[in-house]
Structure 1
Amino acid sequence: MKTKITELLDIKYPIIQGGMAWVAEHNLAAAVSNAGGLGLIGAANAPYEVVKDEIEKAKAATDKPFGVNIMLLSPHAESIAKLVVEEGVKVVTTGAGSPEKYMKMWKEAGIKVIPVLASVALARRMERAGADAVVAEGCESGGHIGESTTMALVPQIADVVKIPVIAAGGIADGRGLLAALSLGAQAVQVGTRFVASKEAVVHEAYKNRLISAKDIDTVVTGRSHGHPVRCLRNNMTREYARLESEGKSFEELEYLTLGALRKAVQEGDVVNGTVMAGQISGMIAQVQTCSEIIENMVAQAQKLAGSAMQWF
């Protein structure tokens, strides 16, 4: 499956793993890269030394390209921006802000820069700033989201930028991959499906919660303060909704969720922790290796593409 993204990033398949906080560490990144996709290490709020160690471990685990996702609101963002240059990282994806201040440094180092965004205006801005591609992320995604759906957002961005577009949100199998390519994307970014992989260093309770989830089990919190987050319903989301309905401040609501994602991912508290997950959770029936996930996704997309040609 050759596309502009597979050529740009020197990967076998047009599948990128999302840079999920507390989930996207070196084991998962290396497994996805070894399987022919592009694995990402999610820097999140981690300091320089922690991310450096993750990068070095990923290098030891794969000789394939991998990247780092940098959350630009992190207090460590500037040091991580320099670290990826020092370590010779091939690809950087960014979220929660604009990477423009680092663009010159990254481009001079030969790094491919791919911002994650949720609007046409931001896509145009990132193209002007020198981005190599953009991830158009629909609100079906888990974690922090925008307002537009993937189906609506991807073609609108693909219509106005010349750089490749990567679709994210609501993609779990070959049907989603083929649909994204049909919408004008050159690759997909997959998050939630890779959480339920054997290589993901995530508590079994978190993975089991994904497997047991139904189509209606995700909820979006934080809309009242402009910081919507999609996760699976539990005691924490119900309490958050109650406080939100009472008009509590953003700071009070943030205090409720402080450390809640780590609690779910590492400790397995899926009742009181934040179980970030996309709407595709209801499609996940089993834990598989990253290789199985990718191979099945590609095989299904290719089979469907062949069938579709018979319709015309």
Structure 2
Amino acid sequence: MKTRITEMLGIEYPIIQGGMAWVAEHNLAAAVSEAGGFGLIGGANAPGEVVRAEIRKAKELTDKPFGVNVMLLSPHAEDVAKVVVEEGIKVVTTGAGNPEKYMDMWKSAGIKVIPVVASVALARRMEKYGADAVVAEGTESGGHIGEQTTMTLVPQVVDAVSIPVIAAGGIGDGRGIAAAFMLGAEAVQMGTRFVVAKESIVHANYKQRVIKAKDIDSAVTGRSHGHPVRCLRNQMTREYVKLEQAGKSFEELEYLTLGALRNAVMDGDVTNGTVMAGQIAGMVSKEQTCKEMIEEMMAQASRLMHWS
């Protein structure tokens, strides 16, 4: 299965694991890469040295290529941007913002830069500034989201840029991969399905909440402040939406969610924590190894696309 993305990243299958905060650490990234996909370490809000340690641990587990997702809103973004260069990382994806100020440094270090975009305008701008590909991420995805659906965003981005496009948001099986290719994508990025991987360090409560989720269990908080985040409904989301409707300030609402993702991922608090997951959670029904997931999905996609 060769596309411009598999060639660029040096991978067997056109599947990239999302750089999910607190979830995408060295164990998961290495396991996805070992299975023929492309693993990512999520920089999240972590300091540069923490990310450096994660990179080094991943290198002990795999000699296959993997990358780092740099969260541009992080107070440590500048440090992490330098660490990826120092550690010889070859591929960086970026989220929550515009990576232009780091582009020159990364490009001169031979790093491929793949920004996550939620609009055609940002995709065009990223191409102009030297991005090697873009991830067009629909509103179906978990965590911070834009407004366009994957179905509408991906083909519009494909038509707007000449660099390869990776589809993300609402993709959880071989049918989703085949559909993304039909829309013109050359790879997919997936987060929610990999949350429940056997190699994922996420707390068992969090995994079970994703596995038991139904199609309607998705909630979006923060729309009123322009920072929408998709997660699974629980006590925290109900409380948040109530305060949002009461017109509470962004600061007050942020206080409610402080550390909430970490509490869910690490401590298993799925009642008051933030259980980030995409709308596809309703279709994620079992824990498997990354290898089992990737092989199952690729076999299904290959049948549908008549690749084999």
Instruction: Report the TM-score, using the length of structure 1 for normalisation.
Output: 0.98
CA distance in 1 between counterparts of 2:227 and 2:49 reads 29
CA distance in 1 between counterparts of 2:5 and 2:131 reads 13
Per-residue CA deviations over 1:27-77 (Å, capped at 9, x if unaligned) read 000000000010000010100111110000011110000000000111111
Per-residue CA deviations over 1:268-298 (Å, capped at 9, x if unaligned) read 0001100000000010110000001100110
Counting only pairs closer than 5 Å after superposition, residues 176-187 of structure 1 correspond to structure 2 as 176-187=176-187
One-letter amino acid matched to 2:232 = L
Residue 247 of structure 1 aligns with which residue?
247
Secondary structure in 2 matching 1:12 = coil
State the shift of 1:304 in Å.
1.2
Counting only pairs closer than 5 Å after superposition, residues 281-292 of structure 1 correspond to structure 2 as 281-292=281-292
One-letter amino acid matched to 1:122 = L
One-letter amino acid matched to 2:61 = A
One-letter amino acid matched to 1:220 = V
CA distance in 1 between counterparts of 2:97 and 2:280 reads 26
CA distance in 2 between counterparts of 1:118 and 1:295 reads 29
Residue 136 of structure 2 aligns with which residue?
136
Residue 208 of structure 2 aligns with which residue?
208
CA distance in 2 between counterparts of 1:97 and 1:226 reads 13
Residue 188 of structure 2 aligns with which residue?
188
CA distance in 1 between counterparts of 2:280 and 2:237 reads 19
CA distance in 1 between counterparts of 2:214 and 2:77 reads 36
CA distance in 2 between counterparts of 1:97 and 1:147 reads 15
CA distance in 1 between counterparts of 2:241 and 2:74 reads 26
Secondary structure in 2 matching 1:73 = coil
Query: How many aligned positions are there?
Result: 308
CA distance in 2 between counterparts of 1:123 and 1:195 reads 27
Percent of residue pairs bearing the same amino acid type: 76
Residue 219 of structure 2 aligns with which residue?
219
Secondary structure in 1 matching 2:21 = coil
Per-residue CA deviations over 1:230-268 (Å, capped at 9, x if unaligned) read 000000000001000000000000000000000000000
One-letter amino acid matched to 1:275 = V
Residue 156 of structure 1 aligns with which residue?
156
CA distance in 1 between counterparts of 2:305 and 2:135 reads 23
Residue 266 of structure 2 aligns with which residue?
266
One-letter amino acid matched to 1:136 = A
Residue 98 of structure 1 aligns with which residue?
98
CA distance in 2 between counterparts of 1:11 and 1:109 reads 21
Residue 116 of structure 2 aligns with which residue?
116
Secondary structure in 1 matching 2:281 = helix
Check if 1:147 corresponds to 2:174: no
Residue 77 of structure 1 aligns with which residue?
77
Secondary structure in 1 matching 2:306 = helix
One-letter amino acid matched to 2:56 = E
Residue 127 of structure 2 aligns with which residue?
127
Residue 299 of structure 1 aligns with which residue?
299
Per-residue CA deviations over 1:204-226 (Å, capped at 9, x if unaligned) read 00000011100000011110000
CA distance in 2 between counterparts of 1:19 and 1:118 reads 16
CA distance in 2 between counterparts of 1:294 and 1:306 reads 17
Q: CA RMSD in A?
A: 1.0
For structure 1, the 5+ residue unaligned runs are none
Residue 22 of structure 2 aligns with which residue?
22
CA distance in 2 between counterparts of 1:233 and 1:48 reads 32
One-letter amino acid matched to 1:271 = T
One-letter amino acid matched to 1:247 = G
Check if 1:231 corresponds to 2:260: no
CA distance in 2 between counterparts of 1:81 and 1:221 reads 29
CA distance in 2 between counterparts of 1:88 and 1:190 reads 24
One-letter amino acid matched to 1:17 = Q
Residue 198 of structure 1 aligns with which residue?
198
Per-residue CA deviations over 1:148-177 (Å, capped at 9, x if unaligned) read 000000000000100000000000000000
One-letter amino acid matched to 1:49 = E
Check if 1:89 corresponds to 2:89: yes
Secondary structure in 2 matching 1:70 = strand
CA distance in 2 between counterparts of 1:22 and 1:194 reads 13
One-letter amino acid matched to 2:203 = H
Residue 175 of structure 1 aligns with which residue?
175
Instruction: Report the TM-score, using the length of structure 2 for normalisation.
Output: 0.99
State the shift of 1:306 in Å.
2.5
One-letter amino acid matched to 1:154 = V
State the shift of 1:305 in Å.
1.5
State the shift of 1:90 in Å.
1.1
